[in-house]
Every structure is written in structure tokens, then in C-alpha cells.
Amino acid sequence: KLASLRGVEAGTLQLAVVTTAKYFIPHLIGDYYEKHANLDIRFKVGNRQQIIDRTERDEDDFYVFSHPPENPDLELVEFLPNRLLAIAPANHPLADQKNIPLTEFARSPFLRREEGSGTRHAIERFLAREKATLNVRMTIESNEAIKHAVMSGLGVSILSEHTLSFGGSAGLAVLDVQRLPIITHWYLARRKSRPLSPAAQGFLEYARNLGNLPLDPDFPKA
């Protein structure tokens, strides 16, 4: 154990991640922490806009986005795919259908994330590309609350597959909608001007070597 601590001194590692990343970053930290148990890790969660604001105030060693801001002061490491899937309650009439036309899905009442959300940003870019509009019923500021609203039959939504992983898909069906999923990637971002502590350097190397490994063995089934 002691040998594995060599190279990364005790220190703090300050991370801020978008709400969708909170479903898998703790698992990555868990693996990293096993080897670096003397680290004091601080972990913040916010929506995309809140995390962008933190980058501007230089508050953390690392930020996790799937839609990083265009800011030349940030260094980005792409590290995992992120697919946004159409979800409905498990008993929804479209749940058993294959190849559902986007226009048909778009007629269902839709539950969307709040302004400032990266998930919403990705969906809006996708709709603009597809020249489609959704039948928005409600705006909800949390992936978890959206999942529960979908389960209760209030509508359908599009959320990151990570919100469904690690047992999080109960009561929900992933719909086979044409043109979906929306495929994006996760990025670890850091301000280039921020000095890289040994702890931060170690974490950066760890993230660079993660590649595309799925984190949850049941992941593709989610």
C-alpha cells in the first residue's frame, strides 16, 4: 500500500462537476482513492453554467463537462463517451416499438432541464440540427426529479445514460427513437494557468489513461 502512495503526496484535490457527472465521477474517484488514500478530495456539483462560473473564478483543480465552454484558458482531456437517451415510463405505449420516428416521440409531453443545463444545451443543438421541436410540459432542475416525474407518467425526457447506470433505470424504458441517442463526450478541464500540484498531476494522468472503459458492468443494458 505504502509503495502505491509514492509519487503523489498528501494534498487536496478540488473537483467541480456537472450534475450528470455525479453519477460516475464518484466511482472513478473511488478507484483513484484506493491508491491515494491520503488525499483530501473536495467535490462540488452544479449545472453547466454554475461550473463554467467556477472555472472563471479559478476555484477548482478540475472541472467535468460534456459541453465545455469555448475558453482558450482551459486544457481539455476527453475521457469517456456520454450518450443522451430518450426515456419513458416502463409501461409507455412506445416502449416496445422499434425505430420510433422523432416526430412521434416529439409529440409526447416532454420534461426538460433548466436553462444553464448542458443536457438541455445538447438537446437544443440537436433539435436545431433536426429542425424539430418538442412538446415541453415542464422544466425541472434535477435529473433525479425528471426520472421520478417520468416514472409517474408526467411525460418523457432525454437524459444522459449515466443517470440510468448503477441500478438507476428502475421503472423506466429507453425508447428506440430515430436519430437518438445524442452522442457527446465527457471532458476533464483545467485552467492552464493553475499550478499543477502532485495530487492534480496524478489525477490528470489517471483520467488520461481511462480511455473508453465502461464503468458499470450492466451499462449497455441500461
User: Which residues contact ligand PGA (rule: CB under 6 A)?
Assistant: 18-20, 47-48, 65-67, 113, 117-119
Task: Report, in Å, the least distance between residue 118 CB and ligand PGA.
Answer: 2
Task: Report, in Å, the least distance between residue 160 CB and ligand PGA.
Answer: 7
Cβ-based nearer residue to ligand PGA, 28 or 199: 28
Cβ-based nearer residue to ligand PGA, 25 or 177: 25
Cβ-based nearer residue to ligand PGA, 138 or 196: 138
Contacts of 172 (CB under 8 A, 6+ apart): 87, 88, 89, 90, 147, 150, 151, 164
Determine contact, residues 82/208, Cβ cutoff 8 Å.
no
Task: Report, in Å, the least distance between residue 33 CB and ligand PGA.
Answer: 23
Before 181, cis peptide (omega within 30)? yes
Using CB positions, name the residue nearest to ligand PGA.
118
Tell me the C-alpha distance between 109 and 157, whole Å: 8
Cβ-based nearer residue to ligand PGA, 22 or 191: 22
Task: Report, in Å, the least distance between residue 163 CB and ligand PGA.
Answer: 10
Cα dihedral 73, 50, 181, 106, rounded to 10, equals: -130
Tell me the C-alpha distance between 158 and 222, whole Å: 14
